[in-house]
Amino acid sequence: MNAIILSALGGIVMMFTGIFTQNKIVIKNIAIITLLLLLIGNLLHFYGIYMLHVDVKDMLQFNNFGLFFNTIAFTSTLIYFLLSGTDITKVGINVAEYFALIFFVLCGVSILTSFHNLLMLFLGIEILSIPLYILTGADKKNLKSNEAALKYFLMGSFSTGILLMGIALLYGASGNFSIESVPSTTSKVAEMANSSILTPLGLLFVFVALLFKVSAAPFHFWVPDVYDGAPSVFTSFMATIAKAVGFIAFIFLFESRIAELGPSSRIIIPFVIILTLLIGNITAVFQQSVKRMLAYSSIAQAGFMLFVLYSNNDISSEGILLYSVAYSFATIGIFAILIKMKDYTFEGYNGLAKKEPLIAAANTIFLLSLAGIPLTAGFFAKYYMLLSAIKANGQNALWLVIVAVLFAAVSVYYYFRVIQAMYFKEGNPEIATTNTSFKVILLALAAIIIFIGLFPTVVLNFLYF
């Protein structure tokens, strides 16, 4: 509850800040302080300290899993503000509003990590998405940004329509909006509505809509264009925090109900996973722009995160948290460096190691983590996801795990292309001047990624204390 209230208040505070001051540094610092308060408020919830005691009528339920994801999301946002805060202020003139919109996205995130009712799922997704449409189009004079915003908006509201249809059908079958499958109050209703069709159909609609939101194939087509067209700072935010929370919504919704999707669910989910991995990885290989490559790589990473639906057990829940940490931290770091570059193509990175050895080293660690090389957080994230599949289905899951590992090997190719450009090619990369604090935070982030890669249980222990 703290997180929802504080993030909404944080958004309002930022909007008022925009009235009283135009100083970009002041606005940025206020945003960082507000975010710190939000983070503390969320941590207090762990210890049972609430701001308000609201009777939520069981529409929201707070558990350690959701609160822990909130903490991850807020920490990632804090790192994002520290690294790219200055670049956010350079996108346009309405600086305070960008921060306000980010706080509203975080409000959506906190609702999605605690919903226990389909109404809250719907509101959470909308509160998350609508500010993102605006942020995508923040660069008003840039045609690419306009185009990305329009595409994102049309695709987003289209998937909302599908989600709502699913919710309506589920309501028809059960007579309430609870996410648990409660048998209808009167059996006669169930008979009349022929709920044997309504429930699987409704779940399928919701499933498809959520696949849209987490950018899984075959509903991924908007992702490359939107991520490419949006201002780079906001792509960084969209591709990490706003995306990972979709999987949390998935877990809450399908934990108990995945079987109700019908016997076909055992075929659909592996199919979606393989298609996502295939399209994400293979297309990423052919990209010339690092930004677009990262967009496809985010589809590929979503393929790994989808294992949480396949295995649906304790290890996969731990794995998705670890994956969110590893993926968000690394992607935020890579984007923070990308924003500073003049040229977004692979050639633009040529010779970066000679000019900026520290930045190149940090970038290498982030890329290694995304590729899942041991000693980085990304390795254990992938390991947990694959382990969960084996634990859930034993021998039957083996082929899926092998396919996933093969695609992870493909991903090494395009991540290492950036490393190769930085270290083994001659060139004079144009990079904006960076101050010392930027480099320090970047190296600290790299250190955290290696630390999690060595001791992943340190992160996961938070879940059980």
Partner 1 sequence: MPIQYYIILSLALFCIGIVGVLVRRNAIIIFMCIELMLNAVNLLLVAFSKMQYNTAVIANKATTVGAEGQLFVFFIMVVAAAEVSVGLAIIVMMFRNTHSIDVNFLNRLKN
Per-residue contact string for residues 313-332; x = within reach of partner 1 by CB under 8 A? --------------------
* 398 makes contact with partner 1 (CB under 8 A): no
Per-residue contact string for residues 207-226; x = within reach of partner 1 by CB under 8 A? -----------------xx-
Identity of the residue numbered 449:
I
Could you tell me the smallest distance in angstroms from the CB atom of residue 156 to partner 1? Answer: 9
Q: How far is CA 372 from the centre of its chain?
A: 18
Q: How far apart are CA 380 and CA 385, in angstroms?
A: 8
Identity of the residue numbered 248:
I
Among 52, 53, 93, 188, contact with partner 1 (rule: CB under 8 A): 188
**Which lies closer to partner 1 via its Cβ, residue 39 or residue 294?**
294
Among 9, 26, 78, 147, contact with partner 1 (rule: CB under 8 A): 147
Of 89-97, 174-182, 210-218, 278-286, the segment contacting partner 1 by CB under 8 A is 174-182
**Which lies closer to partner 1 via its Cβ, residue 154 or residue 409?**
154
* 130 makes contact with partner 1 (CB under 8 A): yes
Of 17-25, 123-131, 246-254, 273-281, the segment contacting partner 1 by CB under 8 A is 123-131
* 454 makes contact with partner 1 (CB under 8 A): no
**Which lies closer to partner 1 via its Cβ, residue 171 or residue 423?**
171
Q: How far apart are CA 358 and CA 31, in angstroms?
A: 28
Among 171, 221, 383, 416, contact with partner 1 (rule: CB under 8 A): 171
Number of residues engaging partner 1 in binding (CB under 8 A)? 45
Could you tell me the smallest distance in angstroms from the CB atom of residue 139 to partner 1? Answer: 10
Could you tell me the smallest distance in angstroms from the CB atom of residue 137 to partner 1? Answer: 5
Interface with partner 1 in residues 226-255 (CB under 8 A): 228-229
Phi, psi for 375 (deg, rounded to 5): 75, 0
* 258 makes contact with partner 1 (CB under 8 A): no
The residue count for the chain: 465
Q: Identify which of 245, 346, 249, 239 has the alpha carbon closest to the alpha carbon of residue 298.
A: 239
Name the residues that contact partner 1, by CB under 8 A: 119, 122-123, 126, 130, 133-134, 137, 140-141, 143-144, 146-151, 153-154, 157-158, 160-162, 164-165, 167-169, 171-172, 175-177, 185-186, 188-189, 192-193, 224-225, 228-229
